[in-house]
Structure 1
Amino acid sequence: MSSNFMIVTRMESVNRTKVRVTVDDEVSWVMPASQAETLELYEGRELSEEDYARLYETCILRPAKEKALSMLERRDYTWRELYERLTLQGFPKEAVHKALDYVQSYHYIDDERYARNYLLYHSTGKSRKMVAQTLAAKGIDPQIVETCLEEWEDSDLENIRRLYTGKFSGETDLTPEKRRKILNYFLRKGYQYGDVLSVIKEFDSI
């Protein structure tokens, strides 16, 4: 047997409609069972380099690109989020990287844009620390997060004052229990103890 041939070493049912195909015990991907049957894929099947190249393009890379585009039509994703989603779909890591390179080349994913949009639309009431942690958890580079936060106009003190005015402006003559309740509310949102205490004192002295 020529060394240029590859072997389908494993065919595993994923569910009623999909199978996982493994070649040479190295590369594996998930595809429709009906498509695998049409392409006559089975354990022990020999694949020439040309056969595998066609399979890779039509059954792995193209579907990975199409899946990425489909997901991005519904909402924005960070690079890491999309990578994790595509990997969970059963695409090989190499194909996932190529699919992400493809959508990134058209600026369909842009972590800096994602971070700026998050600050614009989803940061209300959250401390800079909490926002930074959320963006980091989404896989955004710390340098991008830091740059976007530096440009963010709202300071933690301004956010605390805004939240306090909307939620606690009616609270006067604060008892130790009320003060502790308000303090804990802001601490849970990631604000610093000193900043919260400073704002509480401002309003309590009015």
Structure 2
Amino acid sequence: MEIIHVKKEKKGKYLIGLENGITLPLYQKDCPHIKFEEGADMDESTYRHLILEVLRIRIQKRTLYLLEKMDRTQAQLQEKLRQNHYPEMLIEHAIQYAMSFHYIDDERYIQTYIRQHKEAKSKQRMRYDLLQKGCDRQLVDTVFEQIEDWEEEKQIFRLLKKRKYNPENSDEASKRKTYQYLLRRGYKNEDVLRVMKNMSDESD
């Protein structure tokens, strides 16, 4: 199998592009009998050794390292491994490896994210954030449906208190700024207006 392109990376790493369309992130020590240069040949046994032993073990260790640093969704882990230039077949292996030990579990990730942020973010904002992190839309909706104690008006009230919002001392520009702030956090227009009105009524 011919090497068709070679790109030298940092810390002695090379990206070795093969004629089968696959690029391997390697170090010269991984196969010292082959010159990392265009036109050089890699035999089938070396290729299989690199895929099945060297890189398969390396991507497993990389996966564990990434998950030790922080909890990630499946999509986030895939993207991080792609940034490390691993072939898709090895990325899929790494995902299955992590899932087999429950190192990644998107349902658990969603539940944890909601629990950590439900006091400060609206349901709509959290849903948007989770979709941006690559969580499956249907799974996100299913987890949200299981949670019944949504009290977004209380969240709005707490945020207003945290911002030291005082309807008596706030002019129209200040009220509008506060209103827009809450909308940006994903709270519904009618809920924001209701809480702000209730605070004004209580201050009368």
Q: TM-score, normalised by structure 1?
A: 0.87
Aligned position for 1:167: 163
Contact 1:65 1:100 in 2 (8 A): no
* Runs of 5+ consecutive residues of structure 1 not aligned to the other structure: 1-5
Moved over 6 A (4+): none
Question: In the aligned structure 2, how far is the partner of 1:160 from the partner of 1:150?
Answer: 21
Aligned position for 2:29: 35
Question: In the aligned structure 2, how far is the partner of 1:48 from the partner of 1:151?
Answer: 54
Q: 169-178 or 12-21, which moves further after superposition?
A: 169-178
Aligned position for 2:82: 87
1:37-96: CA deviation from partner (whole Å, max 9, x where unpaired): 624243434333322211112332221111111111111000000000000011011111
Matched, 1:199 2:201: no
| Percent of residue pairs bearing the same amino acid type | 27
* Runs of 5+ consecutive residues of structure 2 not aligned to the other structure: none
Question: In the aligned structure 1, how far is the partner of 2:46 from the partner of 2:122?
Answer: 54
Contact 1:8 1:21 in 2 (8 A): yes
Contact 2:34 2:41 in 1 (8 A): no
Contact 1:8 1:44 in 2 (8 A): yes
Shift of 1:10: 2.5
Written as runs of structure 1 = structure 2, the 5 A alignment for 1:179-190 is 179-190=175-186
CA RMSD, aligned part only? 2.0
Aligned position for 1:12: 7
Contact 1:76 1:109 in 2 (8 A): yes
Q: Quick one: which amino acid aligns to residue 121 of structure 2?
A: K
Matched, 1:125 2:120: yes
Contact 2:34 2:42 in 1 (8 A): no
Q: Quick one: which amino acid aligns to residue 116 of structure 1?
A: Q
Q: How many residues align?
A: 200
Question: In the aligned structure 1, how far is the partner of 2:162 from the partner of 2:146?
Answer: 25
Paired residue secondary structure (2:121): coil
Q: Quick one: which amino acid aligns to residue 154 of structure 1?
A: W
